């Protein structure tokens, strides 16, 4: 019965904090088992934002220390000759990872355009063949923008406008 979850008692008692010198209400918990104490500590930590996460670089589990969504652990990165941590390696990958994130501005333009094409298709103002060509063109432009930073900063947004995509789709269908 070492996995027993029940029989934990809690008391709220007054205690004098030495650094403040004033009485304060504290929670005192008594556990029946050692595992029960660890389980309770895990759930108490989850309540205040500490959460276990898997580091994508080294594959080890770590505990976040605040409510921020920490992605990488602070341990040494495996195979790194310079002795950098996983967090440092993750920062170096930052630009590439941000471009693949769902909330990246390039993807936001693409998502907005795809939603517009779908709406036009449902309203009947755009036929299915033209919509399919427009979606393919938009996907190609997104992939090009992800890999070509100059294109993403330059003409990507203009080429992704509804009118420009429609015109390009119609010329490619002829």
pTM flag (> 0.75): no
- Last residue in a domain, options 61, 92, 123: 92
Tokens for 54?
């898997």
Is residue 88 domain-shared with residue 103, that is, in the same domain? no
Is residue 8 domain-shared with residue 37, that is, in the same domain? yes
Task: Please say whether the beta carbons of 54 and 66 come within 8 A.
Answer: no
Task: Please say whether the beta carbons of 156 and 140 come within 8 A.
Answer: no
Is residue 63 domain-shared with residue 123, that is, in the same domain? no
> In total, how many domains does the chain have?
3
pLDDT of 95 higher than 70: no
Is residue 121 domain-shared with residue 166, that is, in the same domain? yes
State pLDDT tens for residues 105-164. Answer: 788 889 999 999 999 999 999 999 999 999 999 999 988 887 787 888 888 889 999 999
- Last residue in a domain, options 92, 115, 149: 92
Three-point CA angle 73, 79, 85, nearest 5°: 30
94 closest CA partner among 104, 106, 79: 104
Is residue 64 domain-shared with residue 112, that is, in the same domain? no
**Higher pLDDT, residue 105 or 13:** 13
- At 68, the pLDDT band (50, 70, 90 cuts) reads low
Is residue 31 domain-shared with residue 60, that is, in the same domain? no
Q: Max alpha carbon distance in the chain (Å)?
A: 84
Is residue 102 domain-shared with residue 131, that is, in the same domain? yes
Query: Which domain, by its residues, includes 3?
Result: 1-47
Which region among 14-18, 57-61, 65-69, 85-89 has the lowest average model confidence (pLDDT)? 65-69
Is residue 111 domain-shared with residue 162, that is, in the same domain? yes
For residue 65, the model assigns a pLDDT of: 74
Is residue 54 domain-shared with residue 66, that is, in the same domain? yes
- Last residue in a domain, options 24, 58, 92: 92
Is residue 88 domain-shared with residue 70, that is, in the same domain? yes
């Amino acid at each position: 019965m070492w996995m027993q979850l029940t029989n934990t008692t809690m008391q709220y008692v007054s205690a004098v904090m030495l650094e403040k010198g004033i009485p304060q209400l504290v929670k005192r918990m008594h556990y029946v088992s050692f595992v029960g104490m660890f389980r309770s500590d895990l759930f108490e930590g989850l309540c205040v934002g500490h959460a276990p996460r898997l580091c994508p670089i080294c594959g080890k589990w770590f505990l976040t220390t605040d409510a921020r969504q920490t992605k990488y652990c602070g341990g040494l990165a495996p195979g790194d000759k310079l002795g950098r941590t996983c967090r440092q390696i993750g920062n170096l990958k930052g630009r590439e990872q941000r471009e693949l994130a769902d909330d990246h501005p390039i993807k936001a333009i693409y998502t907005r355009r795809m939603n517009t094409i779908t709406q036009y298709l449902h309203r009947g103002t755009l036929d299915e063949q033209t919509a399919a060509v427009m979606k393919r063109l938009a996907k190609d432009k997104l992939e090009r923008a992800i890999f070509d930073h100059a294109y993403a900063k330059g003409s990507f947004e203009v080429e992704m406008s509804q009118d420009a995509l429609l015109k390009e789709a119609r010329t490619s269908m002829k």
